[in-house]
Amino acid sequence: MADLPDARTLPLDEASRAALAERGLEYRLLRSHDGDAIDAHSSAWMRGFAAPEAEEEHLRDVRETMAGRRLIGVYDARGAQAHWPVATVSSWITPVTIPGGELPMWAISTVTVAATHRRRGIARALLEAELRDAHAAGVPIAGLTASEATIYGRYGFAPATQAATWKVDTRRVRWAGPEAPGRIEYIDREAAAALMGELHERTRLQRLGEVPGWPRRWLGHLGLVEKKDRAVRAVRYLDAAGEPRGVLAYKIDEDHEEADADLTIRFLVADGDEAVAALWRFAIEHDLVGTVTAPDRPVDEPLPWLVSDPRVPTSSLTDHGWLRIVDVPAVLEARAYAGPVDLVLRVADPLGYADGAWRVEIADGRATVTEAAGAGADVELTVQELSAAYLGGVSLAVLRAAGRVRGSDAAIAALDLALRVPRAPFLSIVY
């Protein structure tokens, strides 16, 4: 995707600065070379997420990632630790995969407010400023992953991708999938982290809702940073031509009855179905293992079709990638569609960005969107439902069944058909 703006260079939101100043709090943009301030910011958000106090070395590692982001802290000069922010947020502009390509997305992370300052509207001041910043920078959509699903709906975010935790009782299944023509081999964890990054970057355009990762993300999956874990192992799959096509990081729980251990898949990334199946087979057929658990996997994992008893693999679903449309025409015109549409969409958005009546004409898989003020609406929803349905992760028919979309049967059916996608959207990382 063309060069994206650097979020770190954008000015601080004046409305939130003034609102927080009235409460005696300083809303401050950190400088990317101010290591001490970044470390205090990281220490504050780690405490906000109930993590232990970080070692110096860990803070230095984190600094590298954080220095590339737009970091904002809220400071209370009256505190005993006044150099630690009482609230934190970070953001950066990143591509997100959409049907037919990519879109610039305003990614938001490390939203925390100190337990001493909670429920006074500080998070609201931060989040509303992030959306104003995204809008001012011309970034048409915002995204995040959420610690709790109750926090972000009020700002117009909605879950657009789901993640599944798969579980397989391996004693009850035989492999029934294809024979892989390649081979599996163990690799060093550092090499596995590098291969993960490469394969993720090579394949992220194949999955709707996916975003680029960063080195610490992969090192973390391998147990090489933060919560260091020598129990993590890694294998890669090489195709028949000897090309690395997939990598699996996993851990076997040592505390087990004989031949009944739990194997947890920490991360699996693969270029192509052959490698996905081969790595699953490796996990399922592992000796001494009774259960394989794989969190943060696609909801449409082909697993039930790869084993002798499709009832044995079970999955539980959760919301994962949250999106918030900021610019309706830009977002709708950017994606490809599976069917024609000509209708008026009425979008309600309490924060204003997406609000309005929009004429949506889709022909030959592309949309033209224009303002249609005063026109009668064929489909009515809020920015949350539009954001949830944008990648095809939930159908409008389901949202209508929940009373969250209104309109004519024909218009809803046509729009649903147009939004349909071949595979479920999936975001493989937490950010």
Ligand X SMILES: CC(C)(COP(=O)(O)OP(=O)(O)OC[C@H]1O[C@@H](n2cnc3c(N)ncnc32)[C@H](O)[C@@H]1OP(=O)(O)O)[C@@H](O)C(=O)NCCC(=O)NCCS
- Kindly indicate which of the ranges 62-70, 114-122, 320-328, 360-368 contains the residues binding ligand X, using the contact rule CB under 6 A: 114-122
Q: How far apart are CA 143 and CA 136, in angstroms?
A: 16
Q: Which of 23, 31, 120, 202 is close enough to bind ligand X by CB under 6 A?
A: 120
Put residue 252 in one of left, alpha, beta given phi > 0 → left and psi -120 to 50 → alpha. Answer: beta
Q: How far apart are CA 174 and CA 176, in angstroms?
A: 6
Q: How far is the CB of 414 from ligand X (least distance, A)?
A: 35
252 annotated ligand-binding residue:
no
CB within 8 A of 243, min separation 6: which ones? none
187 annotated ligand-binding residue:
no
Would you say 126 or 369 has its CB closer to ligand X? 126
Q: What phi and psi values does residue 320 have, to the nearest 5 degrees?
A: -140, -70
Q: How far apart are CA 183 and CA 200, in angstroms?
A: 20
Q: How far is the CB of 49 from ligand X (least distance, A)?
A: 5
Residues 43-102 that bind ligand X (CB under 6 A): 48-49
Does residue 123 interact with ligand X by CB under 6 A?
yes
Would you say 78 or 119 has its CB closer to ligand X? 119
Would you say 88 or 395 has its CB closer to ligand X? 88
- State the burial class of residue 373 (Cβ atoms within 10 Å of its Cβ: 0-12, 13-18, 19+): exposed
307 annotated ligand-binding residue:
no
- Kindly indicate which of the ranges 117-125, 239-247, 252-260, 384-392 contains the residues binding ligand X, using the contact rule CB under 6 A: 117-125
Does residue 348 interact with ligand X by CB under 6 A?
no
- Of 164, 162, 160, 165, the residue nearest 99 (C-alpha): 160
Does residue 420 interact with ligand X by CB under 6 A?
no
Q: How far is the CB of 157 from ligand X (least distance, A)?
A: 10
Q: What phi and psi values does residue 345 have, to the nearest 5 degrees?
A: -105, 125
Catalytic one among 27, 353, 390, 431? 431
Does residue 22 interact with ligand X by CB under 6 A?
no
Does residue 350 interact with ligand X by CB under 6 A?
no
- Of 261, 254, 256, the residue nearest 290 (C-alpha): 261
Q: How far is the CB of 326 from ligand X (least distance, A)?
A: 19
How many residues line the site for ligand X (CB under 6 A)?
A: 18
CB within 8 A of 80, min separation 6: which ones? none
Would you say 321 or 329 has its CB closer to ligand X? 321
Active site residue 353: no
- Kindly indicate which of the ranges 36-44, 67-75, 120-128, 408-416 contains the residues binding ligand X, using the contact rule CB under 6 A: 120-128
Catalytic one among 27, 152, 337, 353? 152
226 annotated ligand-binding residue:
no
Angle, helices 35-48 vs 56-66, to 10°: value is 100
Q: Which of 146, 173, 224, 292 is close enough to bind ligand X by CB under 6 A?
A: 146
Q: How far is the CB of 122 from ligand X (least distance, A)?
A: 4
Task: Count CB neighbours of 186 within 10 A.
Answer: 10
- Kindly indicate which of the ranges 115-123, 178-186, 209-217, 420-428 contains the residues binding ligand X, using the contact rule CB under 6 A: 115-123
Q: Which of 65, 147, 165, 264 is close enough to bind ligand X by CB under 6 A?
A: 147
Is-contact 91 144, C-beta < 8 A? no
236 annotated ligand-binding residue:
no
Q: How far is the CB of 113 from ligand X (least distance, A)?
A: 4
Does residue 351 interact with ligand X by CB under 6 A?
no
120 annotated ligand-binding residue:
yes
Does residue 352 interact with ligand X by CB under 6 A?
no
Q: How far apart are CA 29 and CA 34, in angstroms?
A: 11
Is-contact 356 328, C-beta < 8 A? yes
Does residue 31 interact with ligand X by CB under 6 A?
no
Annotated binding site: 111-113, 119-124, 147-148
Residues flagged as binding site for acetyl-CoA: 111-113, 119-124, 147-148
Active site residues: 152, 431
- Residues at the contact surface with ligand X, assessed by CB under 6 A: 48-49, 111-113, 118-124, 146-148, 150-151, 154
